[in-house]
Structure 1
Amino acid sequence: MRVSSRPMHALRFRSMDRYLPSGLIDSENGGWWSWADNVLTPEMAGAIGDADIANWSGTDDWQAIQDALDAHIYFHIASEVCFRQSKTYRVTKPLHLGYGVGRPTCARVRGPGIARRGENSFSGPIILCDFSNAPGVAIQGGRSVRWKGVGLKGRNFAHLVNNHMGAVGGASIDDTLGPNWADPSLDDRADTRYAPYAAFAIDPYAGARPGTSYPDVSYPSFLGTVAQYEKASSSDTLISDAWIGGFVVALADQPCRARGSGVCTKLQRVVIEYCKYGISVGNTQSRNVSIEDASVRRAFCFLTNKTCETKSGVCRGSILNLSLIECLNIFSLVPGHCFGQLEIVNLDAAGLWRIGDIAAGAPSAGGLIFRGGRFDFASQNDARGVPAKMLDSANPAINVKFDGGQLKNFRSVAMLDLTCADLEINGTDFRPADARDSWRFKSPQTGV
């Protein structure tokens, strides 16, 4: 579409003719044209998508993809940025879905999604994040942001794969130690509290700048002079149908010093592989972090609210139909005001080493409930050893309830470090590695 003045976004060009929309002749300059199609792909902004997923080679498509995102978000060019082809795109800087400046922004990114179970060769479009000092995608100041069907691969992938981290048969190095899950060659800040190497980081630039922080952002000129931190927060972000692999954290929910408004993040049908942490929640106002039909493979810990950020993330609501495959820990949590009632329904966990740990904190009004599900502790073996406690809790603890389900293949004693008042077991089947010693706890209410 021909326009009367130079567009501020990057999706523009200048023609050689000198006619203006008014019909007058501009004797010195050509005419300006702006993107007017309802479809916007990275290729239309100049992306090539020729990266080699194994060798980390190919064109740096960061500028083209970021130009497309900025044009869509700030100038309403097209209804979404669409990755229509299953290509691999290499980027050397983080992609920004909004900058947290001015009014809240909305972004839509869509691709064809995961094929099969998310293996590298069946993952749909993949963005190779060829850096480790910043998040792959930063979502800042957004409202109802939607990211669907486009995967991310990070530089921590090879370290975890080559050392067989999380494998039931044992790893090349001690994978029961959290620090070993971050490649030593990553940037020094990759496994830190306020600047973790995350696939997705929501509101990483909110609040005051911490001592260890992400690098400065090169803001587009149309925003004017912009400070690096103290940015607006987000709400109602949905990430779905995407593959994530090779980061320290797959999703870091507010890795910042702010305690902003409700984040209300949602994950649906996301496959996470070879990451130290699956989800890290850091905001006391995060409300319900909704997780549904997710699959996590080869992780040190699936869920934490005490590792990154303010170490006080609110975890409450329901986690539905979660599959864990060779993940050593389900959770690492702190109770108190930052822990509501969290319910995990129909969990299927194969290759566990421990359930997790609960740190010291104020008593919680809620609790942790497991409804149904299967806990297979196959990683308790001669190669890895047996943890001192399957569930390690510091007083005062939160209430933990097992309602049905099965705990199996653990060695010797199922050590759950909770007082009788804090632990409730109703109709749960305990089946150690020696099946001759299986037993079931009955409900004191029903006797079943």
Structure 2
Amino acid sequence: MIKSYFIFLFLCLITLNTKAQNPNWSVNTASYQYSMTFTSFLNIDGRTLTSLDDTVAAIVNDEIRGVSSVEYVASLNKYVTYLSVFANTDNETISFKIYDSTNDNVIDVVKNQDFIIDGNIGGILQSFSIAKPALNAGAILNSFAFSGVTSTSQTITNNKIDIVLPFETNLTNLIVDFSLSDGASFLVDNEKQTSGVSKQDFTNPVIYKVLSEDESKLIAYEVNVTIETESSNPSEIVLTSDFGLFVNKAPLLINLETSTPLTNLLKETISVTNAIVLSVEKNNDLNYSIQIVPIQQGEFSIELPKNSVQSTGDVGNLASNKLVFNYDIVNPYVLSTKRNNPIDEITDNDTLEFIVIFSEAVENVSVTDFESVSDSEIALTKETDSKYIVTITNIDDIKGAVSLNIKETNSIKDKASNVLLNSVINPHQN
């Protein structure tokens, strides 16, 4: 009885002290000519793996092609793996398995990567994520403000944030409130910030970076904070138009609303690209009508940069919003048509399928815009804004050429409302 007790106790002690062991993953590097490297991090169910016994394996054609364990990088307080993957040919598909030592479990990761000879993916800051489930790739700054301080104005353009704070605000110790895409991180000098907690000196511009949860995207924002002077009252200018993004007529009428009267709004003070300012008409102290004309086809825009005009007291304006348009006066047309199925010119099929490609993106394309031989039936499938599949059926009794035409009167237009040039699609022998 005593002997049995000691055997049982011995087995219990072995069980309690047994450490979870990595699976028997290994790779014979001498069998392969080429390699590529990954700097990656491992994540299971939203938990980044931090044990030095946690391991990742790269799999190609059910073979182990690379193995690496987690390492700690003190400079960024981060756990990564330096994974080398080996192959003899380019473009092989790599999949991944993770060994989670905490739970003594091997997990298949639903993520693939093509092998690139001498390729290098990921870095210490932006590591390649190997995770199950996949992490969020969004890197969006939804909001940015200061705790306890209401800004006088704020503009965000081209990843640049300009903020004006009330007179006598202390810029040296401001607490930032922000919101980001799910799981994303907000960084200053690669140090993670906490909304409502982290403090920053904004005496000079500060570069913030939004890093997506999966670390695939890193977007930088330059934040410039200024203090309004005691007597300043900068004009807030808003530009509006009844025109949409695509236009085919000129001139365009732009409406300008200002929060304070302006003293020097002239054609020369308005910033336009690929356009000229035709006229500026003052309707009242706070409203103007501006006419602009695009110079040539393509994108054109209008805006008033910061301090381009002044209000009473020679106080410059805040930057206006930017209106962007696309000038298009070219009518769309049928660029090409090709028999898709069957491809033989002469056929006895009851169904003919054509690929119709327009010269640009078009709208309002419907089956009623097409016509063919008498009693035939037409079906339409949109593949892209400029590519359509047209199917003709019920033609088994037809002997001779089967034509497919676009009706002279149709509803097809491009995004700028230019109507379709009349086109006849070549007939095909049936």
Q: TM-score, normalised by structure 1?
A: 0.21
Higher strand share: 2
Q: TM-score, normalised by structure 2?
A: 0.21
